[in-house]
Chains A and B, each alone.
Chain A
């Protein structure tokens, strides 16, 4: 009888310890988007949503960031309507020459990053609000003569934590 009691306690302890090790495995899984001549990998817990942005190709959001129907952590991929072969730096400069005429945004930084071995201009800005500002990172990619803009957004206080997810999409982005 005593042996059975010890065995039961051991099994229960094993279950308790195992339950303490429970994690959300979906955070480590990924999904792949492959439509509209592009493909990329995104976090498994994120969802493809309807993009109403001008020239948007696709948008993915973190469902847990949705507040009142509006996501705050998201990535939108846009393809500006310009002729193929246009100079990306010229278009980039022209875009942000007028972009910040909108006082809802304020520039944080402007520079170049390396994506898959290629230099890409990046503009980081955030909403000009004191309460829960949203930070944006717009990376402009030149893929085989076509320009794609990968716009990542998250609450400014959480932006660094989402960098891994943003980089997952950015580094896996390619034309099909």
Chain B
């Protein structure tokens, strides 16, 4: 329109193109309005998802819960594994533990004194060897006093009379 006015002021003829141009432009505007009307009528945008909520935290509640569960499971699992493992006892060193269990009978360390006549008795101590037919097992560390028939050191009182 401004161009037409300038041309009129200059005394030039206004071509009919401008009117055609205007009519074309009106058509285009009408088409645009029609297209917009059709778009608004038939094209529907998908409902907006709560995108902003997930985008802000980065992880959903489910994922966070799963992550916490896995971490807890890790510590519970490793803790249970350590618990199941037999941890060596503090007093596992051999120097502090003594074992005195034995498959042999315990021998009482007793002394038998046979005195018939104290005034006429002399006492001597002899080591009596083990009879070959004797099979009694006696620890060597123990001392027993019997009147024969067993191994070990035997103290025997010999009686002498005048």
Contact = CB atoms under 8 A, between A and B. Distances in A.
B138 to A, nearest CB: 8
Contacts of A99: 103-105
A50 B99 contact: yes
Contacts of B93: 47
Interface in A80-113: 80-82, 86-87, 90-91, 94-95, 98-99, 101-102
B77 A19 contact: yes
B94 A50 contact: yes
A96 B84 CA distance: 41
30 contacts: A9-B70, A12-B74, A13-B70, A19-B81, A20-B80, A22-B82, A22-B84, A24-B84, A53-B100, A53-B101, A53-B102, A54-B102, A56-B99, A63-B88, A63-B91, A63-B97, A64-B89, A66-B97, A71-B99, A74-B101, A76-B102, A76-B103, A81-B138, A81-B139, A95-B136, A102-B105, A102-B106, A149-B104, A151-B102, A153-B101
A25 B140 CA distance: 42
A90 B132 CA distance: 13
A20 B81 contact: yes
B136 A52 contact: no
Contacts of B151: 81
Contact of B86 (A45, A71, A153): A45
Interface residues of B, number: 44
A15 interface: yes
A37 B73 CA distance: 52
A49 interface: yes
Contacts of B70: 9, 12-13, 16
Q: Counting chain A CB atoms within 10 Å of each CB, which of B71, B73, B84, B140 scores highest?
A: B73
B66 interface: yes
Contacts of A50: 94-95, 97-99
Interface string A1-37: 1000100010011011101101110110000000000
A11 to B, nearest CB: 10
A169 interface: no
Interface of B: 58-59, 63, 66-67, 70-71, 73-74, 77-78, 80-82, 84-86, 88-89, 91-106, 135-142, 151
A16 B77 CA distance: 6
B137 A94 contact: yes
Given A63-B92, A94-B136, A94-B137, A151 B105 contact: no
A173 interface: no
A53 B59 contact: no
Contact of A51 (B82, B99, B106): B99
Nearest to B58: A1
A119 interface: no
